[in-house]
Chain A
């Protein structure tokens, strides 16, 4: 049965879906009260970004003279918003759709999803962690959570700041007994994975960088992220290995790591933030390297958005920025476990269940 039919039968169901409206209202009110400007940037773009592992939705722009060129649905509004930072708008935010192809439908993913992206000038990424904490509490209040104590799937989560913060290196030490040096070293990761009984036969054909990245991610997902579920507060994970943060600045005190943080709650990744890289030359090198990787992966060739590089050359203010998955926030505050329960028209319904007879399933 389709969501609209379910709601027609049981009007109570719309409560979960309407949590979205309250979450978005609260986000807007929060940023406006802090004098952020709300901006709107295109969803249909020519240069969708270089992230090697993301898959794009491709379309064609056709002009009346018969000419045409490829267009794409954006995967994140990051480039356009940074150009606006270079334009001098100051702190900005946007709530918009983003699109990612070739991801499974349902669970915590929908190919079209709502993203909150915000940039605050003259704050570093640690200060931005604080901004996120206050924002979550503001949303909690607006959605009727009492005293910041969110009940999600029968478990109580304390949303009152401060949230526990762990660097990636601390987590590797805590859960895998690996030091910062070891977590950056393929041989050490390999030895650890073998001791845990992993099948590493797939790694042999990969170059060292790839192999390291795969193993790092697999160990992080299996041995660390799965343990963050035990916390009854949101957990902030920060200082990612530099190769894991293409648009973040490197840490001055230890350039092997970059100024990136993520927030996890109840097994969900809620957002991703950077101390923004504002060095045009370094950014250009990293994007070109990413495009090389994209080609090696056999994905459709893209060009660097040189307009973005030019905006960095013109000068970006010192800033930090964050992307937050709004659908996942809605899931939390609506106490739902599936993204399909907080979307009126989930893609799984549109594309897979299309042929079902009304009322029968």
Chain B
């Protein structure tokens, strides 16, 4: 653990707030009409999964957490848990689904991710920036529907629904951006 000034909190780090590990989603400089500056931090409570916001005085001391990362492979969903496996030792680990939140829909068979571990507990899952996924359901495009500007919803193997170009068919493999859950391109194997 190392102490940093709140003004130096950056997106993507883990900090201790109210004695719980939090993942920093966004920071913003805030200056009240008069008085010293504040740092507005949007963060996720890694124990509860709740997103919260707090304004730190920029010179406040904050504990940045040294987290350990471990490469793991996704196995399967089990209710509110997600099961991963260490590909070298075959050791299995179960992670509460809320830690991934909506990104749980980005998990596809055998995808490799990095688990972030703090205090012997998994507190975060880092996905690759893009994943390949197979389309399980794509309806024929309805011509003349201008509202959707050449896009249609298609369902992916994980249950994720993305807006994809009209030419996409069931069975196609698509590249999906894991941060925005948006279609990137079709993969031509």
Provide the residues of chain A in CB contact with B33, threshold 8 Å.
Answer: 240, 244-245, 260, 262, 269, 272
A53 and B31: CB pair below 8 A? yes
Is A108 positioned at the interface, with any CB of B under 8 Å from its CB? yes
B30 and A202: CB pair below 8 A? no
Contact of B35 among A100, A199, A244 (CB under 8 A): A244
Is A25 positioned at the interface, with any CB of B under 8 Å from its CB? no
B24 to chain A, nearest CB (A): 14
B57 and A109: CB pair below 8 A? no
Provide the residues of chain A in CB contact with B54, threshold 8 Å.
Answer: 222
Residue of A nearest to B36 (CB): A53
CA distance A244 to B29 in the complex (A): 19
Is B59 positioned at the interface, with any CB of A under 8 Å from its CB? yes
Is A254 positioned at the interface, with any CB of B under 8 Å from its CB? no
Provide the residues of chain B in CB contact with A216, threshold 8 Å.
Answer: 35
Provide the residues of chain B in CB contact with A197, threshold 8 Å.
Answer: 18
Residue of A nearest to B28 (CB): A107
Provide the residues of chain B in CB contact with A109, threshold 8 Å.
Answer: 28-29
Is A220 positioned at the interface, with any CB of B under 8 Å from its CB? yes
A104 and B27: CB pair below 8 A? yes
Known interface pairs A53-B36, A218-B38; A103-B31 also in contact (CB < 8 Å): yes
Is A314 positioned at the interface, with any CB of B under 8 Å from its CB? no
Known interface pairs A53-B31, A104-B29; A202-B38 also in contact (CB < 8 Å): no
Provide the residues of chain B in CB contact with A221, threshold 8 Å.
Answer: 30, 32, 38, 40, 55
Contact of B57 among A103, A108, A218, A262 (CB under 8 A): A218
B60 and A217: CB pair below 8 A? no
- B27-71 with Cβ < 8 A to chain A: 27-38, 40, 53-55, 57, 59-61
B120 to chain A, nearest CB (A): 25
Residue of A nearest to B32 (CB): A217
Number of interface residues of A (CB under 8 A): 31
Is A214 positioned at the interface, with any CB of B under 8 Å from its CB? yes
Number of interface residues of B (CB under 8 A): 21
A96 to chain B, nearest CB (A): 19
Known interface pairs A199-B60, A202-B59, A222-B54; A245-B28 also in contact (CB < 8 Å): no
Is A246 positioned at the interface, with any CB of B under 8 Å from its CB? yes
Is A51 positioned at the interface, with any CB of B under 8 Å from its CB? yes
Encode A182-212 as 1/0 by CB contact (under 8 A) with B: 0000000000000001010110000000000
Is A213 positioned at the interface, with any CB of B under 8 Å from its CB? yes
A202 and B29: CB pair below 8 A? no
B34 and A51: CB pair below 8 A? yes
CA distance A222 to B36 in the complex (A): 15
A214 and B28: CB pair below 8 A? no
A269 to chain B, nearest CB (A): 8
Residue of A nearest to B39 (CB): A104
A245 and B34: CB pair below 8 A? yes
CA distance A220 to B37 in the complex (A): 13
Contact of B55 among A103, A222, A245 (CB under 8 A): A222
Is A60 positioned at the interface, with any CB of B under 8 Å from its CB? no
- B1-47 with Cβ < 8 A to chain A: 18, 27-38, 40
A202 to chain B, nearest CB (A): 5
Provide the residues of chain A in CB contact with B61, threshold 8 Å.
Answer: 201-202
CA distance A104 to B29 in the complex (A): 6
Is A41 positioned at the interface, with any CB of B under 8 Å from its CB? no
CA distance A107 to B60 in the complex (A): 22
CA distance A103 to B40 in the complex (A): 12
B45 to chain A, nearest CB (A): 13
- A254-286 with Cβ < 8 A to chain B: 260, 262, 269, 272
CA distance A246 to B35 in the complex (A): 11
A108 and B28: CB pair below 8 A? yes
CA distance A197 to B33 in the complex (A): 25
Residue of A nearest to B60 (CB): A202
Encode B58-90 as 1/0 by CB contact (under 8 A) with A: 011100000000000000000000000000000
Is A226 positioned at the interface, with any CB of B under 8 Å from its CB? yes
Known interface pairs A107-B29, A108-B28, A197-B18; A217-B35 also in contact (CB < 8 Å): yes
Contact of B38 among A51, A217, A243, A245 (CB under 8 A): A217
CA distance A272 to B61 in the complex (A): 30
Encode A68-95 as 1/0 by CB contact (under 8 A) with B: 0000000000000000000000000000
- Beyond A100-B31, A108-B28, A216-B35: 4 further Cβ-contacts under 8 Å? A202-B60, A213-B35, A221-B38, A245-B34
What are 25 A-B interface contacts by the 8 Å CB criterion? A51-B34, A53-B31, A53-B34, A103-B31, A103-B37, A104-B27, A104-B29, A107-B29, A109-B29, A201-B61, A202-B59, A213-B36, A214-B35, A214-B36, A214-B57, A216-B35, A217-B32, A217-B35, A217-B36, A218-B57, A221-B32, A221-B40, A222-B54, A226-B53, A269-B33
A-B interface, 10 closest residue pairs, ranked by CB to CB distance from nearest: A104-B29, A221-B55, A107-B28, A217-B32, A217-B35, A202-B60, A103-B29, A213-B35, A244-B34, A222-B55
